[in-house]
């Protein structure tokens, strides 16, 4: 599935990948490593381009000036960052298999071909294809994209009204907006408020949010360039973590 931003030209600026761990709460063990994603021994997923790290620090600084009505001080919690294309391929297939399992059918059954096709279509709305084409890299392979959420000061993740990587409407950033407006003091309003807060600090720091995913933000990749209407992207795919 081609995205509207797939034709954006990429001219890589050469920034290295740098670790997020010294400065940010990173989920351990890594969620994708837990299901067998093939990172390899030298591939730390908690890395981003150096320019993206600077902007992420800026977002955390902005967040430190705000608070959550329920828990007070909040911080960014990193779910995933740099993702090699081989891991992207593994996780796309994993997502398809999990969707088939949740719907109660065997994807290898020829009689379920139509159902499998629908699942593949649903997954493609959220997972970029693991394209080896240098002109259409998956966002996370560039080191310019990050999946993240909010946590309290102790590191406990906050409820955001839908899990990261959930396949469905609950992942759309403004999914809870209407109900939040109708009941501004309810639980759903808190979820929507947290999504808005996350988007606010990330946008002010120079990130662009994925239109289908409340947790996905990027800077320097094709999606960012398309949303910002810049001449081109500055990050191509990175095959190694060091």
Q: What per-residue confidence (pLDDT) applies to 242? A: 44
Q: What per-residue confidence (pLDDT) applies to 1? A: 64
User: Is pLDDT at 43 greater than 90 in this prediction?
Assistant: no
Residues facing residue 80 across a β-bridge: 147
Packing angle between helix 113-124 and helix 85-103, nearest 10 degrees? 130
Write down the domain spans for the chain: 17-82+140-228
Q: What per-residue confidence (pLDDT) applies to 3? A: 82
For residue 78, what are the CA distances in angstroms to 7, 104, 105, 186? 29, 32, 33, 27
User: How does pLDDT run across 44-87, given as a tens digit for each residue?
Assistant: 999 999 999 999 999 999 999 998 988 999 999 999 999 999 99
Q: Is 213 a catalytic residue?
A: yes
Q: What's the whole-number average pLDDT of the chain?
A: 94
DSSP letter at 16 equals P
Catalytic annotation, pick one of 93, 179, 181, 213: 213
Share of the chain above pLDDT 70, in %: 98
State in words which class domain 17-82+140-228 has.
Answer: alpha beta
User: How does pLDDT run across 140-198, given as a tens digit for each residue?
Assistant: 999 999 999 999 999 999 999 999 999 999 999 999 999 999 999 999 999 999 999 99
Asked whether 242 and 166 are in contact (CB, 8 A), the reply is no
């Amino acid at each position: 599935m081609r995205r509207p931003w797939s034709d954006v030209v990429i001219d890589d600026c050469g920034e290295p990948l740098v670790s997020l761990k010294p400065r940010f709460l990173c989920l351990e063990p890594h969620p994708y490593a837990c299901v067998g994603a093939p990172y390899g021994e030298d591939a730390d997923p908690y890395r981003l381009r150096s320019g993206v790290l600077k902007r992420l620090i800026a977002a955390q600084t902005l967040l430190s000036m705000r608070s959550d009505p329920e828990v007070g001080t909040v911080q960014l919690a990193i779910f995933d960052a740099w993702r090699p294309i081989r891991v992207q391929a593994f996780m796309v297939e994993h997502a398809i298999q999990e969707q088939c399992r949740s719907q109660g059918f065997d994807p290898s059954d020829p009689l379920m071909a139509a159902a499998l096709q629908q699942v593949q279509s649903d997954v493609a709305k959220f997972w970029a294809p693991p394209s080896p084409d240098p002109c259409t890299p998956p966002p996370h392979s560039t080191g310019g994209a990050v999946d993240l959420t909010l946590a309290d000061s102790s590191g406990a993740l906050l409820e955001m009204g839908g899990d990261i990587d959930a396949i469905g409407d609950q992942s759309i950033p403004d999914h809870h907006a209407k109900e939040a407006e109708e009941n501004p003091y309810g639980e759903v309003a808190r979820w929507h408020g947290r999504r808005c807060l996350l988007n606010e600090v990330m946008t002010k720091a120079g990130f662009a949010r994925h239109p289908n995913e409340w947790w996905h933000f990027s800077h320097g990749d094709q999606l960012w360039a398309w949303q910002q209407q810049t001449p081109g992207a500055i990050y191509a795919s990175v095959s190694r973590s060091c």
